[in-house]
Every structure is written in structure tokens, then in C-alpha cells.
Amino acid sequence: MTDPFTLAMILIVALSIMGASIGVAMIAGSMVYLLLKGFDSSLAPETLLQGLFNSYTLLAIPLFVLAADIMNVGSLADRLLRFSQALVGRFRGGLGQVNVVSSLIFSGMSGSAVADAVGMGKIIIGMMTRDGKYSPAYAAAITAATATIGPIIPPSIPMVLYALVADQSIGYLFAAGLLPGLLMAFAMGAMNYGIARIRGFPTDERVPLRALPGITGRAIPALMLPVILLGGIYSGIMTPTESAAVAAAYALAVSVLFYRSVSGGQLYDALASSARSTAAVGVLVAGAITFNYVIARENVPDDIAAFLDRFELGRIGFLLAINLLLLALGCVLEGGAILLIVVPILIPAVQAMGIDLVHFGVIAVVNAMLGLITPPYGLLLFITGNITRQPLARIIAEIWPFILALVLALAVITFVPGFVLFLPRLLGYQG
């Protein structure tokens, strides 16, 4: 007779191939496992509900999603783009650099790569392709690539998920993502500049210096959001979950009262979109909580740790192997699934190797974000392809240089832990 765990895995894979949500597939597979093992079938929903209701941290996710959706329906994205254009549009490949900088700024507000690509992406792609300055495929590729910064610069929804499974401080994880996010932005900006020199991309219109104070002033209310959010967390005034609520309230207040750019219908659309996104994440988290119970019952993490220990890889070899594994999985799995299913299995081995869990969290999240732009699954490729109506093959051909830039940044993040942990240690982290 086939082992119940094997049958559960076969069912999960089969349902996923047939188009079912990975969360639903995990719940179904877990139920089959529990029934075949002779456990009470009510154990699965009990485990699921306890995991959801006992995690105050999870409340941050719908609130960050709502903040991003409100910013997308308002005029915050337009003002941030104009500010970025004034800063870097004058350089070679100017609108490409605007793309990088605007994603860097927006990432300090949304915490979501998808929100970045959908919100800022629609506007910047239109700017880049107007008058044929850049090909639609290149505009789509760089927009998808820069959107990966979103969950690295705090706040970060994927880091909230990692904090849940690894039992780590969200505040320290947020701090650990700041320098790596800036490094990723620099790497993509440098790659865009090099491509612009080779292909002769133009500079953008030069914004007169006298206009810069006015543009900055109009953008300041939007730019203050990450300052308020992070300042509240690191001053100890707010928890990360409370800061997510403040972020949503501030985005609404600025959009409605200051910029007056959100109608009742748009607010309803933002709330509906947030509810759908939250439900999707909730199903994924619920599936992961249930399936992780199954994994724990089967001692899979300990088996994985023992298996890796046989190879005597050493710290560098182990980190290299983990990166290759996560990059490969990113080609076929959604980032949330990697963080909620695969990463908990690896954590015992990571701890056995003496690798700091905050450092590993940044490595895991960066790998998960790279998965969003690597074929064939790359969700961000599909999003920007839908915006530009370009064949996926053309976008993939243009995105390889940016994947290379991000992999080089990942190498620094992986093998120079002091770079990642510098800010957390300044804030009192003892790891």
C-alpha cells in the first residue's frame, strides 16, 4: 500500500497541475493524509483555525494590501513618478532609471511586488513606450524586474510570512531588508545604464532646478508614509501590525483629504481588490499551516537536515545549494508557497549550520522574488505582458540582464551576512 504522505503529495501536485489554488491543494492533501493515518478529520480545520487566529502578525497582511490598493487608485503613484523623473530622468536611459527609483520609493509603502507592478507599472510603461523611446518588451522587462524590490525594502508582506514560519522579529527582518533592497536597485540601475549606452536610449526631459522644490513639496505627503511607518516601528511606538493599520489610514487620509483624488467608487474598488488579495493569501496561509502539521508529523525537516549533513557541504557550499534549490523552485512555484512550505522544512538544517535566521530570511525572500521574474511561471512577467500586450518570449529575452544583476546582488546578500545584519545590529539585534 502506498504511504499516506506520498499519496498526499501526489494529490497536491495533481490538483495544482489541474489549476487548483496551491492553498486548496495543500488542505485537500493534508485531509487525505490525516484520514489515511486514522486521525480525526476535525484535526485539520482545528489546526488551520488555531494557526490563523493565534497569529496577530497575520493582521498586517490585509492592512498593507489595503494601503497599496488605496495608493494605486489615488494620485500618489503619479506624484511619486514625477518626483523620480525630476531626480534621475536627466541621465542616460532616464525613464529606465525613473522606473528603478520609483519602484524603490513605492516599495517603502506597499510591501508587495504585484502592487508595485500593477500600480506604478501601468504609468511608467506608458511613459517609456510613448513616442517609441523604448520597446514595449524592454519597458515590461525592467518594470517586472524593479517590482521585485517591493518586498525587500520594508514594509514587506513576504517577510511577514517568513516571520510567521520562522518565529523571528518582523522589525529586525524589515531592517535587514533595507540595504539589500538598495543594492538590488543599484544593480538594476547600473544594468539599465549599460544597456542604454549600448542601445542609445535617450535621456528624459531635464526638469529645471527651480521646479524641483514644487515637485518635491507635492510628493512629500506620499513620501512621509514610509517615514511614519518605519519610525513608528523602530521608535517602539507601534508594532508592525499597528504600523500597517496606520499605513492604510494614512494612505486613505492623504488620497481623500489632501490630494482629493479618490472617489467613492474608487475606494470601493480598492476595498474589493484588497479583500480578494487577502482571501487569496489567507487560503495559501491556511493550506501551509495545515500541511506544515503533516510535515512535522512525518519528521521531514529532520530528515532533510540529516540528508544534507551527509554531503558535508560546509557553510558556503550549503548556502550555494540552498540558493540553487530556491531559484529552481521559483521557476515553478509561487513565492508565498516557497516561504510557507519549503522554507520551514529547511530551517532546522539552516540552524544546524549556524546560519542566522534573519539573514536567511532575507536570502529566502530575495530568492522568492527572483522566482516572480524567472520563466516559465514568473507572475510579474505575465502582469507586465498583459499591460503591454507583448508576447512572453520577447519580455523573457529582455529580462535576462536584469536577472543577472539581481543574482549578483543575491551573491553579496548571501555571502556577506554583515552587510544584511548591519542595520538590525544597530537597532539592538543580538544575532
For 222-258, what is each residue's pLDDT tens digit? 778 778 877 888 788 888 788 888 888 888 888 887 7
Sign of CA dihedral 133, 137, 138, 140: positive
Question: Within a domain: residue 32?
Answer: no
Could you tell me if residue 46 is inside a domain?
Answer: yes
- pLDDT classification of 1: cutoffs 50, 70, 90: low
Give domain status of residue 399, yes or no: yes
User: In this model, does residue 74 exceed pLDDT 70?
Assistant: no
User: Can you give the residue range of the structural domain that contains 124?
Assistant: 42-426
For the segment 166-180, what is each residue's pLDDT rounded down to a tens digit?
A: 889 988 999 999 999
pLDDT for 296 beyond 90: no
Mean pLDDT, residues 18-25 taken together: 82
- Which residues lie below 8 Å from residue 395, measured CB to CB, with a gap of 6+? 137, 140, 141, 144, 381, 384, 385, 388
Alpha carbons 331 and 368: distance in angstroms, whole number: 9
- Give the predicted TM-score (pTM) of the model: 0.85
* Confidence (pLDDT) at 51: 58
Per-residue pLDDT of 356-412, as tens digits, reads: 999 999 999 999 999 889 887 788 888 888 888 888 889 999 999 999 999 999 999
Q: Is residue 181 part of a domain?
A: yes
The answer to the question of residue 30 being in a domain is: no
Per the domain annotation, does 9 fall within a domain?
no
**283 exposed, middle or buried (CB, 10 Å; 0-12, 13-18, 19+)?**
middle
In a domain, 16, yes or no: no
Q: How far apart are CA 150 and CA 226, in angstroms?
A: 12
- Residue 69's alpha-carbon distances to 59, 185, 277, in angstroms, are 16, 23, 10
How many domains, in total, are found in the chain? 1
- Does any domain span residue 240? yes
- Give the range with max mean pLDDT: 2-6, 83-87, 158-162, 305-309: 158-162
